[in-house]
Amino acid sequence: MPGLLLETLRGSSAKPRPVWLMRQAGRYLPEYRALRAEKGGFLALVYDTDAAAEITLQPLRRFGLDGAILFSDILIVPYAMGQNLEFLAGEGPRLSPRLVDTALAALSPVPERLSPIYETVAKVRAQLGPDKTLLGFAGSPWTVATYMVAGEGSRDQHETRGHAYRDPGAFQAIIDAIVAVTVEYLCGQIAAGAEAVQLFDSWAGSLAPAEFERWVIAPNAAIVTALKARYPQVPVIGFPKGAGEKLVAYARETGVDALGLDETIDPCWAHAVLPQGLPVQGNLDPLLLLYGGGASGGELDRQVHRILDAFADRPHVFNLGHGIGKETPIAHVEHLLSTVRQWRG
Ligand code: CP3
C-alpha cells in the first residue's frame, strides 16, 4: 500500500491531506545545525551519505511528515558537469568557471560526483516506513543554467537572460547538456529508491512568455518524456516558481503529473484554471509561517483553511509556496501540521 503522498500524486483525493515542507531538512532544525557543526560545510554533509540520510530523516522523526526529500542540492548537477562548487558562509553558492565567459566544452565532466547521492537515497529508503514517500529532485534546466552562467545567484537573472538573447545557440547547448545529465541523475535516484521526483524551477518567473516556452516548458517537457519512457509509474512534480498565469501552459505542455504552486498564486484561481483532477502542491507563504500568523495566530489558520478549502475537490499535497525560513520556530510548524491534519473538508 503506497503512502498518502504517493497516492495523491497519482491522482487520489484522499483526506487528510498529505503534507511535507520544501527545505524541511535544514537550518531551522537544531538537530541539523548540530550535525552541520560537527561535519563542517554543507557539501561535506551532502557527500557523507550516512549524514545526508540522517538529515533527510530528521524532519520525519520530529514531525511525522508524509514525505522525505533527499538531502542534496540542485547544484550537484553543475558540479558533475565539471564546474567547481563552493558554498560561502553568508553568501550562497559559487560555481566556476562561469559560462558567461567560458565555453561549455571547456568543462571536464565528473560523473562520479553523482553516485554518492544514489547511495544516500538507498540508505534513506531502507530506514523509511512503507507509508512514507521518498522524493528525489533536481533543478530545472533554466534555474540550473542561471547559476552555471553567472557563477552565483542574481537578482533578476540578468546575465543569463542576456546570454540567452545574445547567443541562443550556445545557450541552447547548455540547456540540452543540463537536460541530459538531469535525466540520468533522476533515473539514478529512482533506481535507488526515489518514488516521485520534483523539478525545482526557482527562477522561472524572470522570463518573458516566448523565453518561458523555450527555456522552461520545452526542457521540462523533454525531461518528463525521458523519465516516463523508463519509469511511467513515477510521478513528476513541476515547480515553476513565479510562473503566474503561465502555469496553465506549463501544466498542459510539460506532462508533469503534479504542479507546485508558489505563495503568489491565488488557490481559488488555480483551482478554476488548471486541468481538472491535476494534483497540486502548496502554497502557504513561508513568511506567514515564520511570523505565526500575527499576535493571535488567526491569519495563519485562516490562510491554511483557505488553501485546503480551495483544493477540496482535487488531489492536493499541502506544502509551503517556497522553502521554510531558517528562523521559523518549531512550534509554528507543529501548529501548522495539526491544523492541516485536522481538516477533513
Ligand atoms: O530539505 C530540502 O528541501 C532538501 C534539500 C534541498 C537543498 N536545496 C538543501 C540546501 C533542496 C531541494 C534544495 C534546492 C535548491 N538549492 C534550490 C531550489 C529551491 C529554492 O530554494 O529555490 C536552489 C535555488 C538551490 C541553490 C542553493 N543551495 C542556494 C541558493 C543556497 C544558499 C542559500 C541558502 O538557502 O542557504 C543553497 C544551500 C543549501 N541547500 C542549504 C540547504 C539545507 C543551506 C546550507 C547550509 O548553510 O546549511
Each residue's pLDDT tens digit, 11-51 = 999 999 999 999 999 999 999 999 999 998 899 999 999 99
Closest ligand 1 atom to the C-alpha of 26? 43
Whether 147 and 225 share a structural domain:
yes
Q: What is the pLDDT of residues 223-267, one digit of tens each?
A: 999 999 999 999 999 999 999 999 999 999 999 999 999 999 999
Domain match, 214 and 103 both: yes
Residue 282 lies in a domain: yes
On whether both 4 and 91 belong to a single domain, the answer is: no
Tell me the C-alpha to C-alpha distance, in Å, between residue 238 and each of 21, 140, 142, 188, 325.
15, 9, 13, 19, 21
pLDDT (mean) for 104-116 = 97
Q: Which atom of ligand 1 is nearest to the CA of 202?
A: 22
Final residue in a domain of this structure, among 226, 260, 294: 260
Give the C-alpha separation, 164 to 232, whole Å: 32
| The pLDDT value given to residue 79 | 98
* Active centre residues (catalytic): 23, 27, 36, 73, 147
Query: All 3 cell numbers of residue 170?
Result: 550556445
- Residue where a domain terminates, one of 260, 292, 310: 260
CA 26 to ligand 1 center in whole angstroms: 8
Helix axes 141-150, 218-230, angle to 10 degrees: 120
User: Which CATH number goes with the domain that contains 184?
Assistant: 3.20.20.210
Q: Which amino acid is at 55?
A: I
Measured in angstroms, how far is the CA atom of residue 292 from the centroid of ligand 1? 23
Q: How many CA atoms lie within 13 A of 199 on its CB side?
A: 34
The CA 73 to ligand 1 mean position distance, Å, reads 6
To test the ligand 1 pocket, which listed residue (56, 72, 74) has its Cβ within 8 A of the most ligand atoms? 74
In a domain, 52, yes or no: no
Look at residue 297 and tell me whether its pLDDT is greater than 80. Answer: no
120 and 255 together in one domain: yes
Q: What is the pLDDT of residue 250?
A: 98
CA distance 115 to 111: 8
Residue 112: what pLDDT?
97
Percent of the chain with pLDDT over 70: 100
C-beta of 242 in contact with ligand 1 (< 6 A): no
pLDDT score at 88: 87
pLDDT of residue 244: 98
Q: Which three three-digit cell numbers place residue 34? A: 548540530
The whole-number average pLDDT for the span 114-130 is 97
Domain count of the fold of the chain: 2
What's the domain range around 333?
1-24+264-345
Closest by CA position to 46, among listed 22, 20, 21, 80? 80
Asked if the bond preceding 286 is cis, omega within 30° of 0, the reply is no
The reported pTM is 0.97
Cα–Cα distance, 113 to 125 (Å, whole number): 20
Gyration radius from the chain CA atoms: 19
Q: Please choose from 38, 48, 73 the residue to mutate so as to test ligand 1's pocket, defined by most ligand atoms within 8 A of CB.
A: 73
- Cα separation, 237 vs 294, in Å, equals 32
How confident is the model at residue 154, as a pLDDT? Answer: 87
Residue 56 lies in a domain: no
Judge if 249 and 122 occupy the same domain: yes
Are residue 251 and residue 272 in the same domain, yes or no? no
Task: Using most ligand atoms within 8 A of CB, pick from 21, 22, 23 the residue to mutate for ligand 1.
Answer: 23
318 in a structural domain:
yes
In a domain, 48, yes or no: no
Task: Identify the residue whose C-alpha is closest to ligand 1 atom 22.
Answer: 202
Are 171 and 207 contacting, i.e. CB atoms less than 8 angstroms apart?
no
> Which residue's CA is the closest to the ligand 1 atom numbered 27?
93
279 and 218, same structural domain? no
In a domain, 136, yes or no: yes
Q: In the prediction, which pLDDT does 195 show?
A: 98
Separation CA 73–CA 330 (nearest Å): 23
Cα 114 to Cα 110: distance, rounded to the nearest angstrom: 8
Taking the alpha carbons at both ends of the chain, their separation in whole angstroms is 24
**328 shares a domain with 182:** no
Q: Is residue 115 part of a domain?
A: yes
Integer angstrom CA distances of residue 206 from 120, 157, 162, 209, 255 = 33, 7, 12, 10, 22
pLDDT at 1 over 80: no
Residues 102, 245 within the same domain? yes
Question: What is the rounded distance in angstroms from the CA atom of residue 43 to the CA atom of residue 234?
Answer: 28
* ipTM, interface predicted TM-score of the complex: 0.93
SS3 264: coil
Binding-site residues for substrate sit at: 23-27, 73, 147, 202, 322
CB 171 within 8 A of CB 162: no
* Residue indicated by cell numbers 485562516: 302
281 and 226, same structural domain? no
Q: What pLDDT shows up at residue 47?
A: 98
Give the DSSP letter string of 168-179.
Answer: HHHHHHHHHHHH
Cell numbers standing for residue 258: 503534479
Which residue, by CA, sits nearest to atom 35 of ligand 1? 92
Q: What pLDDT, in 10s, does the model give residues 261-287?
A: 999 999 999 999 999 999 999 999 999
pLDDT per residue over 46-99, tens digit each?
A: 999 999 999 999 999 999 999 999 999 999 999 999 999 999 888 899 999 999
Phi, psi (degrees; rounded to nearest 5) at 248: -65, -45
CA of 313 to the centre of ligand 1 (A): 32
Distance (Å) from CA 75 to ligand 1 centroid: 9
> Do 229 and 275 share a structural domain?
no
Mean pLDDT over 117-144 rounds to: 97
* 85 domain residue, yes or no: yes
Q: Which of 244, 260, 276 corresponds to the end of one domain? A: 260
Task: Tell me the C-alpha distance between 315 and 10, whole Å.
Answer: 9
| C-alpha grid cell, residue 207 | 522570463
User: Residue 345: what pLDDT?
Assistant: 86
- Residues 103, 198, single domain; the answer is yes
Q: Is the CB of 323 under 6 A from ligand 1?
A: yes
